[in-house]
């Protein structure tokens, strides 16, 4: 072996020896984040039962890419990102349990990648703490394994903002900024724009043209299917935005803070949002969020690293703004992106409460914080447990009603209309139709024509008056639901 070859091998050995500590440090830095992400997935599988049937909105998204039932009406505000996300499972399996496991694992992986994008901006334990704060909220756990877009907007926002903050020092982060922005816009284009407004303002004010263009390009790429569909199905982008506003009750100045407060006890949709406020213990954590955010900002200002805290706080504020002040109803999931963006700055503020600048622990503050966090987790678990039980019972009633209707002759191909027709139709393998309301997609004449060739049923709440065309149809009392089934045509189904 030549001397030159020996030198090359020695040099390689030195390079490997130098690289090993770097790789080891990287692995150690990733471990806390991986543990948080893994615990998030495990908690979903343990606490949100995989056998929980699909909810109303889930059946709309899943039906677009499943052969279990005809595609449900897809209203203007919806985007097809979540349908694409679940397609790898729903295209070949109708198992809800398998879909839940797939989404739980995928959301855990996405949380890890989103937190990792913040490496170098905050200490690893702060990132892990922020991830844990976000991952243990009942709304995060409840929607983690569900085919709903809001959590994915939140994870995309976390990835986008982290990479945006790193992009000036690490150009590879530009790809993460674009990817995160595209993910947000693919799931909910309007939410993505609200999240990105402070980023675009910072890029413009600081003349960071490349960063602004990359963020904009990601938003446009993700929103492109929604925009194309606006022109092919709604007559244009403005028309779709106007229709989306109508479906959501007409967007405009409307203080919905109290609506969100009422939903904190575990209401998936508060529309109309009436009734009394939840017990104060259920809302304490929500009122502490802005205070803790201000603490994180004060810590950042004192440490002369204001931007990396102020920017995510600004994005959280713009993400929450339309759902607090522009919409006439509430759902806890609407604020998920804001919670995700608040988590890291809040965790940074809490770290400075329990540790001195020299790195020593403050025993009293640590004990008080531990007790407070234990109480917070107890409240989150109590709400989550009640939500899961209620959801399983509600979805179970849909399944029982479908079984009864099948025994009465309502089998695919078939059409359901009326109260909760969209989810029940998915369970039954039927098409769904409505002649009025936000999901109107058919007419009375079309329903009657359909009844001449296949089973048609009208669903209503117990005791409610049926539509005029179904008054003479045989009535059947089901589980919390009345069903009127069109008589079978005497000519054997001829149109």
Structure tokens that stand for 295 in this block: 């603490």
As a whole number of angstroms, the distance between CA 177 and CA 458 comes to: 48
Question: Same domain, yes or no, for 345 and 411?
Answer: no
| 273 and 411 within one domain | no
Give residue 3's pLDDT: 42
- 139 close to 324: Cβ distance less than 8 angstroms: no
Phi, psi of 384, deg, nearest 5: -60, -45
Those residues whose C-beta lies under 8 Å from the C-beta of residue 347, and which sit 6 or more positions away, are 122, 126, 127, 129, 130, 133, 296
Query: Both tokens of residue 297?
Result: 């900002």
Domain shared by 338 and 410, yes or no: no
Positive or negative torsion for Cα 164, 338, 244, 73: positive
CA distances from 303 to 122, 232, 306, 321, 338 (A): 12, 52, 8, 28, 24
User: Could you tell me if 324 and 416 lie in one domain?
Assistant: no
Residue 421 domain-assigned (yes or no): yes
Burial 376-395 (b: 16+ CB within 10 A, else e): beebbeebbeebbeebeebb
**Is residue 312 domain-shared with residue 411, that is, in the same domain?**
no
Report yes or no: 37 and 109 within 8 Å, Cβ to Cβ.
Answer: yes
Report if residue 425 sits inside a domain: yes
Give the number of domains in the chain. 2
How far is C-alpha 326 from the geometric centre of its chain's CA atoms? 19
Answer whether residue 393 is part of any domain: no
In a shared domain, residues 188 and 320 = yes
pLDDT of residue 2: 41
238/230 Cα distance (integer angstroms): 8
SS (H, E, C) 147-164: CCCHHHHHHHHHHHHHHH
Nearest to 150, CA basis, from 87, 193, 192, 114: 192
Of 228, 191, 233, 222, which is closest to residue 71 (Cα–Cα)?
A: 233
Q: Is residue 6 part of a domain?
A: no
CA separation for the pair 358, 292 (Å, rounded): 22
Q: Is residue 100 part of a domain?
A: yes
Q: According to the model, what pLDDT value does residue 4 have?
A: 41
Full DSSP string of 36-50: HHHHHHHHHHHHS-T
Q: Please, are residues 366 and 124 in contact by the beta-carbon 8 Å criterion?
A: no
Q: List the chain residues with pLDDT less than 50.
A: 1-24, 493-495
Q: Residues with Cβ < 8 Å from 114, sequence gap 6 or more?
A: 155, 156, 158, 159, 162, 180, 340
Domain that holds residue 423: 404-485
Q: What is the pLDDT of residue 265?
A: 85
Q: Do 129 and 221 fall within a single domain?
A: yes
């Amino acid at each position: 072996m030549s001397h030159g070859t020996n030198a090359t091998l020695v040099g390689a050995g030195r390079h490997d020896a130098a690289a090993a500590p770097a790789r080891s440090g990287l692995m150690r830095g990733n471990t806390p984040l991986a543990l948080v992400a893994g615990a998030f997935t495990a908690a979903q599988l343990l606490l949100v039962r995989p056998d929980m049937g699909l909810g109303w909105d889930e059946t709309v998204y899943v039906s677009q890419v499943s052969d279990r039932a005809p595609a449900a009406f897809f209203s203007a505000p919806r985007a097809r990102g979540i349908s694409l996300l679940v397609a790898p499972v729903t295209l070949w399996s109708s198992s809800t349990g398998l879909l839940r496991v797939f989404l739980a694992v995928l959301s855990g992986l996405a949380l890890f990648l989103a937190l990792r994008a913040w490496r170098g901006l905050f200490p690893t334990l702060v990132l892990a703490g922020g991830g844990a704060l976000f991952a243990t909220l009942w709304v995060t756990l409840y929607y983690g394994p569900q085919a709903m877009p809001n959590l994915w907007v939140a994870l995309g926002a976390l990835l986008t903002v982290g990479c945006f903050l790193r992009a000036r020092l690490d150009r590879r982060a530009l790809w993460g900024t674009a990817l995160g922005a595209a993910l947000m816009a693919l799931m909910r284009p309007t939410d993505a724009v609200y999240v990105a407004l402070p980023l675009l303002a910072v890029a413009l004010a600081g003349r960071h043209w490349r960063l602004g263009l990359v963020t904009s390009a990601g938003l446009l790429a993700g929103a492109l299917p929604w925009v194309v569909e606006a022109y092919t199905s709604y007559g244009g982008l403005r028309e779709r935005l106007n229709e989306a506003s109508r479906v959501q009750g007409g967007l405009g100045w409307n203080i919905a803070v109290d609506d969100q407060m009422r939903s904190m006890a575990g209401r998936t949709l508060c529309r109309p949002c009436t009734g009394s406020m939840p017990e104060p213990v259920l809302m304490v954590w929500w009122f502490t969020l802005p205070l803790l955010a201000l603490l994180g900002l004060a810590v950042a200002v004192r440490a002369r690293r204001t931007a990396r805290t102020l920017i995510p706080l600004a994005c959280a504020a713009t993400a929450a703004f339309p759902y607090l002040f522009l919409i006439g109803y509430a759902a806890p999931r609407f604020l998920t992106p804001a919670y995700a963006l608040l988590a890291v700055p809040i965790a940074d503020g809490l770290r400075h409460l329990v540790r001195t600048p020299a790195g020593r622990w403050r025993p009293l503050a640590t004990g008080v914080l531990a007790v407070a966090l234990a109480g917070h987790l107890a409240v989150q678990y109590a709400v989550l447990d009640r939500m899961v039980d209620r959801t399983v019972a509600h979805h179970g009633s849909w399944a029982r009603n479908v079984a009864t209707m099948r025994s009465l002759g309502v089998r695919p191909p078939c059409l359901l209309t009326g109260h909760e027709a969209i989810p029940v139709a998915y369970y039954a393998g039927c098409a769904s139709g409505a002649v009025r309301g936000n999901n109107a997609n058919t007419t009375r004449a079309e329903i009657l024509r359909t009844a001449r060739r296949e089973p048609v049923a009208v669903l209503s709440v117990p005791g409610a008056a049926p539509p005029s065309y179904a008054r003479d149809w045989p009535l059947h009392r089901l589980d919390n639901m009345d069903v009127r089934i069109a008589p079978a045509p005497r000519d054997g189904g001829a149109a």
